[in-house]
Chains A and B, each alone.
Chain A
């Protein structure tokens, strides 16, 4: 069974940092792109960032460029999203998603940016 489990979310003050983690199981983690997608309360889905299988390619939405950094460790079946200089508008549930077809999603980890 394919599983993606996110962690690391929480309450942080504006300007603060968080590091989200995603652990995959039930598939060959190193063979798939990993994407982070977020959903603000009551809003739609928003792409955040993607990383290729070997980490050679990394993509970011404009909203996170210069503030977010995606990485992965295939030996640990893990992907990460380092988020710095957080803003209130970054408040959302952050999902980890498998593959180029974005076929499996984790349950999400909530991030709240508030003073």
Chain B
């Protein structure tokens, strides 16, 4: 059971938009920056978004991050087949004194 809650899967058609939610608590998302990672099949995770809404270097503006209270959201517009991957949110938890991840969301571009 992950500290942060993500939907197991989402899907949408090419060109469409999708959002992935990440729900936590005041000890993590509510008071700490959220990061988002993309993991393509067979590869290491790659940072997409840091500090809630800052795109990492080289990440297209089709990817966006936002946060409200104890929840964060990753948005992807103009979906491409190459976006099919697992997406993880992560942040520091000040009660546990560990970095916590969501369970991951598998994106399928139909």
Task: Give me the interface of A with B, judged by CB distance under 8 Å.
Answer: 35, 37, 44-47, 50, 59-61, 95, 101-108
Contact = CB atoms under 8 A, between A and B. Distances in A.
A39 B41 CA distance: 13
B47 A59 contact: no
Contacts of A103: 35, 47, 50, 56
Given A45-B88, A102-B90, 4 more contacts: A37-B101, A102-B99, A103-B47, A105-B45
The contact size tier of chain B is: 20 to 34
> Which DSSP category, helix, strand, loop or mixed, fits chain B's interface?
strand
Nearest to B43: A107
B110 interface: no
Interface in B77-101: 86, 88, 90, 97-101
Contacts of A104: 47
A44 B104 contact: yes
Contact of A35 (B86, B99, B104): B99
Nearest to A57: B97
Contacts of B56: 103
A47 B45 CA distance: 13
Interface in B44-61: 44-47, 50-51, 56
> Which DSSP category, helix, strand, loop or mixed, fits chain A's interface?
strand
B98 A59 contact: yes
B44 A47 contact: no
B47 A102 contact: yes
Given A101-B33, A101-B35, A50 B104 contact: no
Contacts of B102: 44
Nearest to B3: A47
